[in-house]
Amino acid sequence: MPEPQTLAPHGTAAESAIGVFDSGVGGLSVLQELQRELPHERFVYVSDAGHAPYGEKDDAAVLERSRHITQYLRVHHRIKALVVACNTATAAAIGTLRSCYPELPIVGIEPAIKPALASSQTGHVGVMATRGTLASQKFKALVTSLPPNGHLALQACDGLANAIERNDTIKTEALCAQYMRAMGTFGLNNGDIDTLVLGCTHYPFAQHILRRFTGPEVRFLEGGAPVARQTRRLLETAGLLSYQTMAGSTQFLTSGETAPLAEAIERWLHLTATVGSLPAEQAV
């Protein structure tokens, strides 16, 4: 049975933190948008790097980790909302999480295919995602719901999230080149892919590399900003927006080594942050 809604130890539920989790550093791209949209909120960001990459695990393994982390955030941080900042975890687990915690506002992320097709001039859209996301029932249902006149080039990007996670530039560049060539030609001519959907929260951190293969006219779409706006809407509806006027804060935790997450925060968010380790019983 899910636990009842509890109050933060130092005030009302509105003062509680928002939980955010990903398999690693990719969710920082979503966190960045959340901080922009909700500058007065407190966040607890969990990188499950000790169990990454999610995209190459089966649904059962991803669901188990998602439930484990959600329970930890509920019990130990008394979060007022949860953001699943991982496409693979959203596909595998968000339905179960919402069933287990019906009182908890939960926001997931999915590849932005619908807006991509709606805005495409050529009708050809490329989708980069993990194999786990593309194979999920949730993703298949999304594709089935699309209008029949669009053309999707679906590309499973094995190893790319992990290369970005490890800041392995050589490997990242090689994989980007491989997968971009496999999708086809990019541009604004008939038959060209004119919109590229980044269907993993790690991939926005490789945009500067991907841009080399598309040219400046191709549009990139990722899900961080829509997730942030939806989080705000849910908090407003539930009366849970923070009333603090001071700047918000973020606590960073990981089930893996702390140094890579701290380096990623500095590299991509331009922040110097202290990263803590998940309690041993939560990290396994």
The one-letter amino acid at 272: T
Task: Mark whether 200 is an active-site residue.
Answer: yes
**Residue 2, both tokens:** 């899910």
Please pick, among 86, 100, 157, 176, the residue that the annotation labels catalytic.
Answer: 86
Residue 153 CA to residue 132 CA, distance in Å, equals: 16
Q: Choose the catalytic residue: 100, 157, 176, 200.
A: 200
Q: Residue 50 and residue 87: Cα distance in Å, rounded?
A: 18
CB of 43 closer than 8 Å to CB of 17: yes
Helix 207-214 with 169-183: angle, nearest 10 deg: 40
DSSP 256-269: S-HHHHHHHIIIII
Q: Per DSSP, what are the bridge partners of residue 106?
A: 82
Burial label, 210 (beta-carbon count in 10 A; 0-12, 13-18, 19+): buried
- Active site annotation includes 86: yes
272 Cβ neighbours under 8 A, 6+ residues apart: 265, 266
Alpha-carbon gap, residue 54 to 89, rounded angstroms: 7
Residues with a known catalytic role: 86, 200
